[in-house]
């Protein structure tokens, strides 16, 4: 329990390198979080089910079950706990894969502790503001698409869409601003937060995944339209 009476946020770090786990755990404690540790993927999954952490720091290269598998399994089960991927890989494809499997953010090793703490704070803030925002209308309808912000659900006709938190936020933002085009930088600012240190490629990945879940493979640009030289908008 924090000094102000609020519950400490539980942060689970799934990482097989002891020195990284020790460093991150120490800094989580000093920043007012309750750290949980796992040195492999299977142990990490057990802790997720048992402790229900508020955020997961997930290494990609893990013994037994790697970070991609963990992220994919949790999202397939409907678990939307925010995930920040930790990766020593610098290739763009590795970052994109993590985002496509449902991660909310990634940070490449070696990383600075200040940057990591800023990422954690930003992701948690986005989740909290997404669940507490009641200043706007609770439901937005775009043709057959219904977005229920109160229930945090999206439906396309009779089909419920299985969306990650960030996909839901991006879809909801575009729907609330239907007809207006946004650049990738504007979407990073509005959906990921102004201090988000990601790349505009992140937006493209989430748009592509949203389109796939909306069934836009067979009917291109049914809802989300690409504005050449600008960005995206909800039609």
What confidence tens digit (pLDDT) does each residue in 191-215 have? Answer: 876 555 556 678 888 898 899 888 8
The whole-number pLDDT of residue 122 equals 82
The whole-angstrom separation of Cα 124 and Cα 82 is: 8
Q: Tally Cβ neighbours within 10 Å of residue 102.
A: 24
β-strand 145-148 against 139-142: which pairing, if any? antiparallel
The tens digit of pLDDT for each residue in 88-112 reads 766 556 666 777 778 888 888 888 8
The whole-number pLDDT of residue 5 equals 44
Give the residue carrying structure tokens 């039609």: 235
The whole-angstrom separation of Cα 195 and Cα 177 is: 22
The domains located in the chain, with CATH, are 10-131 (3.40.50.2300), 135-234 (1.10.10.10)
Angle, helices 67-76/92-100, rounded to nearest 10 degrees: 20
- Taking a C-beta distance cutoff of 8 angstroms, is the pair 135, 49 a contact? no
The whole-number pLDDT of residue 134 equals 43
β-strand 105-108 against 83-87: which pairing, if any? parallel
Which spans in 77-233 are helix H?
A: 92-100, 113-132, 165-176, 184-187, 201-213
By C-alpha distance, which of 206, 213, 203 is closest to 182?
203
The whole-angstrom separation of Cα 61 and Cα 67 is: 6
Regions of the chain with pLDDT less than 50: 3-5, 132-135, 218-219
Which SS3 state, helix, strand or coil, does residue 99 take?
A: helix
Report pTM.
0.67
The whole-number pLDDT of residue 101 equals 79
The whole-angstrom separation of Cα 120 and Cα 115 is: 9
């Amino acid at each position: 329990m924090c000094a102000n009476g609020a519950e400490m946020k539980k942060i689970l770090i799934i990482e097989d390198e002891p020195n990284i786990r020790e460093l991150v755990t120490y800094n989580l404690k000093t920043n007012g979080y309750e750290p949980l540790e796992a040195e492999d993927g299977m142990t990490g999954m057990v802790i997720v089910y048992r402790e229900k952490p508020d955020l997961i720091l997930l290494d990609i290269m893990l013994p037994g079950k790697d970070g991609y598998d963990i992220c994919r399994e949790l999202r397939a089960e409907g678990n939307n706990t925010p995930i920040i991927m930790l990766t020593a890989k610098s290739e763009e494809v590795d970052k994109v894969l993590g985002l496509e499997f449902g991660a909310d953010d990634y940070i490449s090793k070696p990383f600075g502790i200040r940057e990591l703490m800023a990422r954690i704070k930003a992701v948690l803030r986005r989740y909290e503001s997404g669940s507490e925002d009641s200043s706007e209308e609770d439901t937005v309808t775009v043709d057959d698409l219904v977005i229920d912000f109160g229930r945090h659900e999206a439906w396309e006709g009779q089909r419920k869409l299985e969306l990650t938190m960030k996909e839901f936020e991006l879809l909801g933002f575009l729907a609330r601003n239907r007809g207006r085009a946004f650049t990738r930088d504007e979407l990073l600012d509005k959906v990921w937060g102004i201090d988000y240190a990601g790349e505009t490629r992140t937006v493209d990945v989430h748009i592509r995944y949203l389109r796939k879940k909306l069934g836009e493979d067979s009917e291109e640009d049914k809802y989300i339209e690409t504005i050449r030289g600008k960005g995206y908008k909800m039609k």
